[in-house]
Structure 1
Amino acid sequence: MSEPQPVEPAPAETASQSQNLNDDINALSVDELDRLTQNVLDETASTRPLLSESAPLSALREEYERGSATFLKQIDYLSGKAYTHFRRARGDGDCFYRSLGFAWVESLMTSQEPDMEASMALSLLESSLDILAAAGFQKLVYEDFYDTLANLIKHIFTPGAGGQTLTMSSLLGAFQNAEISNSIVVYLRLLTSATIRTDEDNYAPFLFHPEIGDQLEPREFCENFVEACGREADHVQITALTKALNFSIQVAYLDGHGTDGTVNFVEFQIAPPQEGSLPPPVLLYRWCEIMAVSRVYADVNASLGAGWYDYERLHIDWNVPDRYEIVRRVGGGKYSEVFEGVDMSNEDRCIIKVLKPVMKKKIKREVKILRNLTGGPNIISLLDVVQDGPSRSNSLIMEYVDNTEWKELFPVWTETEMKHYLFQLLKGLDFVHSRGIMHRDLKPANIMYDRARGKLRLIDWGLAEFYHPDTKYHVRVGSRYWKAPELLVGYEKYDYSLDLWSVGCMLASMVFRKEAFFRGRDNEDQLLRILKVLGTDTFERYLEKYGLYIQTDNRALLQSYARVPFNAFGPPTVSREALDLLDKLLRYDHLERLTAAEALAHPYFTIIVIATSHEDILP
Structure 2
Amino acid sequence: MSSSDNGSSLSEPRGEAELYRDASVDRPKEWFDWESLNLAWSEPEPYHVITKLGRGHFGEVFSAIDVRKEAALRKKFASAAGSAAGSGPSVSDKVESGRSAKGKGVDDDDENESAASTEKAGAGGAETLSLPAEAEAELLTKSTVVIKVLKPVQLSIIKREIKFLTNLRRGTNIIKLLDLVENPLTAQKSLIFEYVDTPDFKKMYAGFSDHEVRFYMYQLLLALDYTHSKGVIHRDIKPHNVLIDPVRKTLRLIDWGLAAFYNPGQRFRKFPGTRVFKAPEMLMQYSRYDYAVDMWSFGAMMAGIVFKKHPVFKGRKENINVLVAIVKLMGSDGLFDFVDKYGVRLRDEWDEKLEGYEGSTWDSLVTRKNKSLAVADAIDLLSGILVYDHEHRLNCEDHARLAGTVAHRRGIPPEGTNSGSSDEDFMAISDGGAHNSVPAGATPLTGTSRNGSDLSSSSDAQLGSSRSPA
Structure 2 distance, partners of 1:366, 1:545, is 35
Structure 2 distance, partners of 1:346, 1:563, is 55
Q: How far did 1:615 drift? A: 7.7
Read off the aligned partner of 2:33 and give its amino acid letter. D
Q: 2:32 aligns with which of 285, 309, 331?
A: 309
Q: How far did 1:359 drift? A: 2.5
> In the alignment, which residue of structure 2 is the partner of 1:580?
380
> In the alignment, which residue of structure 1 is the partner of 2:289?
494
SS of 1:302's equivalent in the other structure is coil
Q: Is 2:300 the partner of 1:505?
A: yes
> In the alignment, which residue of structure 1 is the partner of 2:322?
526
Q: How far did 1:330 drift? A: 0.3
- 1:226-246 CA-to-partner distances (Å, cap 9, x unmatched) read xxxxxxxxxxxxxxxxxxxxx
Read off the aligned partner of 1:600 and give its amino acid letter. A
> In the alignment, which residue of structure 2 is the partner of 1:362?
157
CA gap 1:497/1:363 in 2 versus in 1, 3 angstroms: same
CA gap 1:616/1:458 in 2 versus in 1, 3 angstroms: closer
Read off the aligned partner of 1:295 and give its amino acid letter. E
Give the alignment of 1:346-425 within 5 angstroms: 346-347=69-70, 348-425=143-220
> In the alignment, which residue of structure 2 is the partner of 1:334?
57
Structure 2 distance, partners of 1:429, 1:324, is 31
SS of 1:303's equivalent in the other structure is coil
Read off the aligned partner of 2:366 and give its amino acid letter. G
> In the alignment, which residue of structure 2 is the partner of 1:217?
none
Give the alignment of 1:24-103 within 5 angstroms: none
Q: How far did 1:352 drift? A: 0.2
> In the alignment, which residue of structure 2 is the partner of 1:455?
250
Q: 1:565 aligns with which of 361, 382, 385?
A: 361
- 1:321-375 CA-to-partner distances (Å, cap 9, x unmatched) read 1211221110111112111111121221100011122222221111111111112
Q: How far did 1:611 drift? A: 3.4
Structure 2 distance, partners of 1:457, 1:296, is 23
CA gap 1:531/1:328 in 2 versus in 1, 3 angstroms: same
SS of 2:39's equivalent in the other structure is coil
8 Å CA contact retained: 1:387, 1:393: yes
8 Å CA contact retained: 2:35, 2:159: yes
Higher normalized contact order (CA 8 Å, seq sep 6+, divided by chain length): 2
Q: How far did 1:412 drift? A: 1.5
Give the alignment of 1:285-296 within 5 angstroms: 288-296=11-19
Q: How far did 1:429 drift? A: 0.7
Structure 1 distance, partners of 2:154, 2:351, is 39
8 Å CA contact retained: 1:481, 1:516: yes
Structure 2 distance, partners of 1:399, 1:617, is 16
Q: How far did 1:614 drift? A: 8.8
- 1:390-440 CA-to-partner distances (Å, cap 9, x unmatched) read 222211100011112211122221000000110000011101111111111
SS of 1:567's equivalent in the other structure is helix
- 1:302-327 CA-to-partner distances (Å, cap 9, x unmatched) read 21221212222211121111211221
Q: Is 2:345 the partner of 1:546?
A: no
> In the alignment, which residue of structure 2 is the partner of 1:445?
240
Q: How far did 1:443 drift? A: 0.5
TM-score using structure 2 length: 0.68
CA gap 1:343/1:614 in 2 versus in 1, 3 angstroms: closer
State which structure, 1 or 2, has the greater radius of gyration over its C-alpha atoms: 1
Q: How far did 1:510 drift? A: 1.3
Structure 2 distance, partners of 1:429, 1:544, is 30
> In the alignment, which residue of structure 2 is the partner of 1:596?
396
SS of 1:506's equivalent in the other structure is helix
SS of 2:293's equivalent in the other structure is helix
SS of 2:62's equivalent in the other structure is strand
Identity of aligned residues (%): 36
- 1:150-184 CA-to-partner distances (Å, cap 9, x unmatched) read xxxxxxxxxxxxxxxxxxxxxxxxxxxxxxxxxxx
Read off the aligned partner of 1:296 and give its amino acid letter. L
Read off the aligned partner of 2:200 and give its amino acid letter. E
Structure 2 distance, partners of 1:448, 1:616, is 14
Q: Is 2:274 the partner of 1:479?
A: yes
SS of 1:352's equivalent in the other structure is strand
Structure 1 distance, partners of 2:278, 2:416, is 34
Structure 1 unaligned residues grouped into runs of 5+: 1-36, 43-90, 92-286
Q: Is 2:225 the partner of 1:430?
A: yes
8 Å CA contact retained: 1:528, 1:556: no
> In the alignment, which residue of structure 2 is the partner of 1:249?
none
Q: How far did 1:288 drift? A: 1.3
Q: How far did 1:534 drift? A: 1.1
Read off the aligned partner of 1:566 and give its amino acid letter. W
Structure 2 distance, partners of 1:460, 1:565, is 33
8 Å CA contact retained: 1:486, 1:494: yes
Structure with higher helix content? 1
8 Å CA contact retained: 1:475, 1:491: no
Structure 2 distance, partners of 1:432, 1:554, is 34
8 Å CA contact retained: 2:35, 2:160: yes
CA gap 1:610/1:555 in 2 versus in 1, 3 angstroms: closer
TM-score using structure 1 length: 0.52
